Amino acid sequence: MYEASRIAVRRVGVMGEEFERISMRAHAKLNLALCVGAPIDAPGTPAHGYHPICSYMHTIDLYDTIEIERAVLSGYDIRWAEPDGHTREVDWDIEHDLVVRIHRALITRVGSDLPCQIRVRKSIPAGGGLGGGSSDAASVLMGLNDIFALGLDRSSLVDIAMSLGSDIAYFIDPVSPHPRPAIVSGFGETIERVETGHAGQEITLIFPSFGCATGAVYRAFDSIVEHANPSESIVRACAGASELNQDLIVNDLYRPACEVQPAIGPLRDRIAEALGSGVHLSGSGSTLFVLGRVGAPLVHEVAPDCRVVHTRLC
């Protein structure tokens, strides 16, 4: 069972019958260092075409909220949460959402229907390189494991997760209120949790009005980046530093992301010049971030279409 600070469990009466309900937060992540290797050329194997990575990942205090309730029939309610308390529909077919897919993958794995109602209120931008969909999927997977008392261990959960996406495994951390920082390697399945003093570091997130498709960014990487093995030493230097600084943050997907979304480079340069500070890309983009707290008006002077959110590493 998760710690109470992460998930609340209670019994509620419905038509005289009690169903268990779980509420949780699915946190976003930043890639504070991300090194990417050449795709594996091994036709006929599961790894063919996949890129080995090494990344220092850290969750932030930005999250989606999820409720799972046991029910007679399954259903999904996935919507954007607006600042004024209203919601709006997501602009994709929820049948393709990772939450729905992970539920169905678990059903297949255990051979049981696992009927439930899943409600997601999303605050993490899609296509931003923050892992929102992966975090939602991991939270639902762990929540279903608890609510149906399936008894699957972390290795089994990771095995299910890896069939759907490489970022999901990082978010599977049942012993913590939020996924702990980690050095993530291989194809995303190797998770080395690390003790750092970086929690509490203030972060300013800058959201452009566009996203980046991860697949397109990796294809651009293959076409423009000199292939090599991901640099573990660079990632460990960032994770092991007593304090974060601009020089420690690296992202091999920055140039490919600029190929996919040419506006990213000039946008980052304008913001960096206005702030006199380094501006970085998380994951495959398009989210930019700055170490420290930066006033939104200063960013809006050079990037009026961007949304600014203040958060911290957690």
Q: Is it the case that residue 2 has pLDDT exceeding 80?
A: no
Q: Is it the case that residue 203 has pLDDT exceeding 60?
A: yes
C-alpha span between 165 and 173 (Å, rounded): 16
C-alpha span between 107 and 111 (Å, rounded): 6
The CATH number that domain 202-312 falls under is 3.30.70.890
Q: Is it the case that residue 1 has pLDDT exceeding 50?
A: no
- Residue closest to 7 by CA, chosen among 168, 178, 131, 223: 178
Task: Give the model's confidence band at 165: pLDDT under 50 very low, under 70 low, under 90 confident, else very high.
Answer: confident
C-alpha span between 206 and 271 (Å, rounded): 10
pLDDT, tens digit (0-9, with 9 covering 90-100), for 29-81: 999 999 999 888 777 767 767 889 999 999 999 999 999 999 999 999 999 99
C-alpha span between 267 and 288 (Å, rounded): 9
pLDDT, tens digit (0-9, with 9 covering 90-100), for 217-241: 999 999 987 767 788 999 999 999 9
pLDDT at 17: 47
What six digits make up the tokens of 288? 């930019």
Q: Is it the case that residue 18 has pLDDT exceeding 70?
A: no
Q: Residue range 272-297: average pLDDT?
A: 95
pTM for the predicted model, two decimal places: 0.91
Least confident interval from 41-55, 152-166, 207-221: 41-55
pLDDT at 49: 75
- From the candidates 64, 97, 146, 167, give the one annotated as an active-site residue: 167
| Burial of residue 12, with CB atoms counted within 10 A of its CB: 0-12 exposed, 13-18 middle, 19 or more buried | exposed
Instruction: Please say if 122 is a catalytic residue.
Output: no
Instruction: Please say if 84 is a catalytic residue.
Output: no
What six digits make up the tokens of 47? 């790894």
Give me the amino acid identity at 170.
Y
Cα–Cα distance list, 45 to 3, 167, 176, 199 (Å): 39, 20, 34, 39
- Residue closest to 292 by CA, chosen among 203, 220, 224: 203
Q: Is it the case that residue 166 has pLDDT exceeding 90?
A: no
pLDDT at 252: 95
R_g (Cα) of the chain, nearest Å: 20
Q: Is it the case that residue 102 has pLDDT exceeding 70?
A: yes
Domain 7-193 has CATH 3.30.230.10: yes
Q: What percent of the chain has pLDDT over 90?
A: 79
Q: Is it the case that residue 6 has pLDDT exceeding 70?
A: no
What six digits make up the tokens of 146? 């608890």
- Parse the chain into domains and list their residue ranges: 7-193, 202-312
Average pLDDT, the chain: 91
pLDDT at 82: 86
pLDDT, tens digit (0-9, with 9 covering 90-100), for 234-264: 999 999 999 999 999 999 999 999 999 999 9
pLDDT at 5: 36
- From the candidates 29, 122, 136, 252, give the one annotated as an active-site residue: 29
